[in-house]
Amino acid sequence: MKALNKLIASARFGTPDDGFELLETEKGTPNFFNEAGEKSQGPGTEEKKEEKVCGSVAGNEAALRHALRADINPDVIFRHFSLCGTVEALAVYMNGMSSASQISDFILRDGMRAKPPPENTGSIARYAIENVFCFGESKEEADLTKVKKAVIDGLCAVFIEGSPSAVIMDTRGYEHRAAEDAQSEKVVRGPQEGFVENIRSNITLLRRIIRTDDLVVEQRPSGGENGLNVAIVYREGVTNEALVNEVKQRIALLDTRTIINSGTLEQLTEKGSLAPFPRVLATERPDRTASLIMEGRVAVLLDGSPFANVMPTTLFTLMSTSEDSAMRRPQGSTIRIVRFIGAVISVILPAYFIALALHHQGLLSTEVLITVVSSRKMVFVPLGAEMIFLLIVFQLVREAGMRVPGNIGQAIGIIGGLILGQAAVSANLASSVLLIVVALTGLGNFCIPDYSTQLAAAFIRVSFVIAAWLAGLLGLFSAVLVMLSWMAMQKSYGVPFLAPFSPKANSKRPMILRGDVTMHKRGDDIMNAREDGK
Partner 1 sequence: MKLALGRIGSQEAVSAAAAAMSVSAIFTIDSAREYSEGNLAYVTIPLGAAAALGAFLFIVFAMKRSGANDLTGLCEAMLGKAAVFPAIIAAALLVFSAWELMFRFAVMLNTFVYRSSKFAPVVVWVTLCPAIIAFMGFECVGRVGKIVGAASGVLFLLGLAGASGGFEAYRLYPIPVSEVAPVISNSLEASGRCFPALLALLAAAPAMQGNRRLRLAGVLAAAIAAFLGAASQLCIGMAYTGEDLSKMYMPLFRLNMVLIKESYWFRLDKLSLFLWLTASAIGAALYIYAASLMITRSITRYDVRPAVVSSCAVLALAAVIAQTSGESGVEAAAELVRRYSWLALPLFMLPALASLIKGRKTENEKA
Binding footprint of partner 1 on the chain (CB under 8 A): 8, 13-17, 24-26, 359-360, 362-365, 471-475, 477-478, 481-482, 484-486, 488-489, 496, 498, 501-504
Q: Shortest Cβ distance from residue 29 to partner 1 (Å)?
A: 10
Q: Shortest Cβ distance from residue 514 to partner 1 (Å)?
A: 21
219's CB contacts (< 8 A; 6+ apart) are 199, 229, 230, 231, 232
Q: Tell me the C-alpha to C-alpha distance, in Å, between residue 438 and each of 393, 414, 441, 469.
A: 10, 15, 5, 16
Nearer to partner 1, 58 or 489 (CB): 489
Helix axes 57-67, 144-152, angle to 10 degrees: 60
Interior angle at CA 526, CA 525 and CA 530, nearest 5: 50
Q: Shortest Cβ distance from residue 352 to partner 1 (Å)?
A: 10
Rg (CA), the chain: 29
Nearer to partner 1, 145 or 478 (CB): 478
Nearer to partner 1, 4 or 188 (CB): 4
Cα gap 231→171, rounded to integer Å: 20
If one counts every other C-beta atom within 10 angstroms of the C-beta of residue 437, the result is: 21
- Listed in sequence order, the DSSP H helices in 124-180 are 124-131, 144-152
Q: Shortest Cβ distance from residue 15 to partner 1 (Å)?
A: 7
If one counts every other C-beta atom within 10 angstroms of the C-beta of residue 251, the result is: 24
532's CB contacts (< 8 A; 6+ apart) are none
Cα gap 454→413, rounded to integer Å: 17
Q: Shortest Cβ distance from residue 501 to partner 1 (Å)?
A: 7
Nearer to partner 1, 13 or 380 (CB): 13
Helix axes 432-446, 329-358, angle to 10 degrees: 150
Q: Are 91 and 156 in contact (CB under 8 A)?
A: yes
Q: Shortest Cβ distance from residue 523 to partner 1 (Å)?
A: 19
- Listed in sequence order, the DSSP H helices in 139-194 are 144-152
Nearer to partner 1, 366 or 407 (CB): 366
Long-range contacts from 477-482, C-beta under 8 angstroms, 24+ separation: 479/351, 480/348
Nearer to partner 1, 296 or 472 (CB): 472
Q: Shortest Cβ distance from residue 475 to partner 1 (Å)?
A: 7
Nearer to partner 1, 273 or 365 (CB): 365
Nearer to partner 1, 209 or 369 (CB): 369
Q: Shortest Cβ distance from residue 283 to partner 1 (Å)?
A: 27
